[in-house]
Amino acid sequence: MHDISRRSFIQGSILASATSMVAANAQAGTPDSKNTATAITVKETLPKGKIGNLELSRLMIGGNLITNFMHSRDLKYVDNLSSHYNTDDKILETFRISEEYGIDTIITHADPRIMSLLKKHRYERGGKMKWIINVMGALDNELKIFSEKAKQVVDEGADGLYLFGANADTLALHGKVEMIARTVAIMKEQKVPAGVGAHDLNVIKVCEQNKIPAEFYVKTFHHLKYPTAPKPEQIRGSNMEIPGYWCSQPEETIEVFKKVEKPWIAFKVMAAGAIPPQDAFKYAFGNGADFILAGILDFQIAEDVRITKNVLSGIKRERPWRS
């Protein structure tokens, strides 16, 4: 709940920051601005899949490098360290290197600073990175605010939307399945692919049982075989920061997704850095994930792309590719 409250603060600030976002638009460019940037040269290619009409690299880059919320258990200095390393210029450099190595999609929050950097990368620096933006809200009947946010980020250039996982977890926990359905309907009105995020596997179950027309899922997925993984008696919910875990039921998750015919973007596959990428990527792709969303720093990109290509070249999986 602390995590939800922290992010709810970000969520609540979005509309209050509308004026500053307009100013950011003027500085960073908009979809209607004249683009005089030079296109980024792609040096590597990655296998791709599709969600709706979007063709996306199977490895996607996550937003923690921008938000500086690093899920570092009780190492409180790490967020601060990240914020000093990942300056705006470094983040823009990371976007460029990602594209050069074939990563063409980012999934992140609808935060004013984040949106400003994404627009600068695309409209000033020639970036082609696709944006899948999680829309926070939909709690306590805030659907009007949710709708305004969804429209705003698509107007700014978002290529896809999904309901923020912590919000979907809470709605499912309290039996508010109709609210999840209504958020999906609102996002689909924007004419972009609309999905649902989750830490709690129950979210996926209720969406499937109630035939909620989400076009994709963004669900945590990692094994529990790393040294700092929780002991069975420590698993008290879908996710916890201490001990650090974000997928409490990996085996059941595998079984549930075998029956899901929609694309699955797996995130937290490295359990926030506790599992090496070679192990994490092989486990996620091998057990049914269609895409991987990974938090990657600039100096890790080349190696993570190499690992992804090697894993995908020899992967054997029971679940068919759903994208």
Mean pLDDT (the chain) is 89
CATH number of 2-27+39-313: 3.20.20.100
Predicted local distance difference test score (pLDDT) of residue 321: 98
- The strand pairing partners of 266, in sequence order, are 219, 292
Q: What percent of the chain has pLDDT over 90?
A: 76
Query: Quick check: 122 pLDDT over 70?
Result: yes
The domain locations on the chain are 2-27+39-313
First to last CA, the chain: 33
Q: Which DSSP state fits 96?
A: H
Query: Quick check: 267 pLDDT over 60?
Result: yes
Q: Quick one: average pLDDT of 116-143?
A: 90
If pLDDT is split at 50, 70 and 90, which confidence band does 279 have? Answer: very high
Predicted local distance difference test score (pLDDT) of residue 137: 74
Position 105, amino acid: T
If pLDDT is split at 50, 70 and 90, which confidence band does 27 have? Answer: very low
CA-nearest of 16, 320, 3 to 148 is 16
CA distances from 172 to 133, 165, 221 (A): 21, 10, 18
Q: pTM value?
A: 0.88
Query: Quick check: 29 pLDDT over 60?
Result: no
* Whole-number Å distance between alpha carbons of 207 and 192: 19
Q: Quick one: average pLDDT of 124-150?
A: 88
CA-nearest of 132, 214, 125, 115 to 168 is 214
Cis peptide before 243 (omega within 30 of 0): yes
Place of tokens 């003027």: 26
CA-nearest of 94, 118, 104, 131 to 49 is 104
Predicted local distance difference test score (pLDDT) of residue 69: 78
Q: What percent of the chain has pLDDT over 70?
A: 87
Least confident of 105-119, 201-215, 253-267: 105-119
Query: Quick check: 2 pLDDT over 50?
Result: no
Please state the φ and ψ torsions of residue 221, each to the nearest 5 degrees. Answer: -160, 115
* Whole-number Å distance between alpha carbons of 299 and 280: 18
Predicted local distance difference test score (pLDDT) of residue 11: 44
